[in-house]
Amino acid sequence: MSYKVKEKIKGGTFSIPDVIADKHLRFASGDQIKVLIVALRHPEKSCDAHSISKYLKMTEADAEDCLQYWVLMGILTDQNSEEDAAEALPPQPVKFIPGKIAGDPVKPPVKSTPKTDISDYTRPSAAEIATRMEESAEISALFRELQMRLGKTIGYDGQCTFISLYDRYGLPADVIYMLVDHCVSMGKTGYSYIEKTGKSWAEQEIDTIEKAAEKIASLDKAGKFWKKFAAAQGLTNSKPTSNQTKYITRWLDELKMSFDMICLAYEEMTERTGKISYPYMDKILLNWHECGYKTPEDVETASKNRSDAAKAVKQDKTASYDLSSVKNSELNGNLKYERKSKK
């Protein structure tokens, strides 16, 4: 069955550029298309995220992301940008300095000391991202898929994050999908957290689906352990921090410690230090691992053996001291002479 637009539609019409249907319709999300249609409805007026969010019943942040997407695609312009502001000024003989009124005398710019950047990476510009999307169908597909998995429109910050994971850290698209799904399951969908986690995965060379699945299984195991451990110790945070996860993963996967052994190490730590110190707790468990202790009974037996050995040494020292005293008394004591009486 085929369809055709009616020749006479009640109400007026407005134009949509051909490039939208020819180039962007396949890649843009539903929300992005909605926002663009609202913006094109009155091209002579400026549109803003607040009014669009109220009209389309979406959050203002999502509306802003959608608008920024079309800015990146070269369809809309951001009137607050320095480039647009410069283009809007009439030609003038004096050099334009942002923040100065046209015609004001130009003062020499103040030289500032350039900041030293220890990283050679810079965020791509909007034009560079658009070019990257045109060059790579996988990048475009990556953005579309991640929008669905995150449940929100990916704006400039999100695009920079995922371009960084893909181009800078070399994570394959499938691994990025698994990474994002894991972050979503934890309720951590901030771009900075996702990029930090992706950087950590890249440093650990988690660059295949198999390695990613193994990593996620390990993290899930740590999360389940923490839930039980926190309840047993009366800890308030329901999820482990990244530092706590690092230690838990080490204790479970590398040292092969049981739940009871880790709880015993926690008790030892608090008794000895009077505070919570996971590095100190790690040293206790590492020492037990090197000694071959597998159960709390092993630790208790070893402690009793040390205590018995210490008592034996103490008794031995005491006995040696008493024997020496007797010998010294016999050798160095005052001799008493008694004369025998005649019968």
Task: Find the CATH number of the domain harbouring 55.
Answer: 1.10.10
The span from the CA of 208 to the CA of 206, in Å, is 6
Establish if 303 belongs to a structural domain.
Answer: no
> Do 176 and 165 touch, CB atoms closer than 8 A?
yes
How far is Cα 23 from Cα 120, in angstroms, rounded to an integer?
A: 33
The alpha carbon dihedral of 86, 90, 93, 97 has a sign of negative
**Which of helix, strand or coil describes residue 117?**
coil
Same domain for 231 and 279?
Answer: yes
Q: What is the pLDDT of residue 109?
A: 39
Q: How far apart are CA 69 and CA 133, in angstroms?
A: 12
Say if residue 225 is in the same domain as residue 199: no
- Pull the structure tokens for residue 226: 């923490």
- What is the pLDDT confidence band of residue 338, given thresholds at 50, 70 and 90? low
pLDDT in tens, 10-46: 667 778 888 888 777 766 778 888 888 988 887 777 7
Same domain, 48 and 76: yes
Cα-flanking dihedrals φ and ψ of residue 200, to 5°?
Answer: -65, -40
Does any domain span residue 76? yes
Domain boundary among 184, 207, 230: 207
Residue 264 domain-assigned? yes
pTM above 0.75, yes or no: no
Task: Give CA–CA dist 296/20, Å, rounded.
Answer: 68
Domain termination residue (choose one: 48, 69, 87): 87
- Output the pLDDT for position 113: 37
Token digits for 317?
């020292």
163 with 221, same domain: the answer is: no
Segment 320-338 shows an average pLDDT of 52
Based on the fold, state whether residues 202 and 218 are members of the same structural domain: no
In this structure, the answer to whether residues 154 and 176 fall within a common structural domain is yes
Cβ-count burial of 117 within 10 angstroms (0-12 exposed, 13-18 middle, 19+ buried)? exposed
Unique residue bearing structure tokens 């996702």: 194
Return the pLDDT at 107. Answer: 39
Phi-psi region of 29 (alpha: psi -120 to 50; beta: other; left: phi over 0): beta
Structural domain ending residue among the three candidates 272, 291, 310 = 291
Q: Does the residue 100 lie in any domain?
A: no
pLDDT at 16: 86
Q: Could you read off the pLDDT of 126-144 as tens digits, one per residue?
A: 888 988 888 888 999 999 9
pLDDT at 111: 36
Give the count of domains, the chain. 3
Regarding whether 219 and 203 lie in a shared domain, the answer is: no
Whether 25 is in a domain gets the answer yes
Residue 229 included in any domain: yes
Residue 334 included in any domain: no
In this structure, is residue 116 part of a structural domain? no
Radius of gyration of the chain (CA): 37
Mean pLDDT over the full length of the chain: 79
Domain carrying residue 70: 18-87
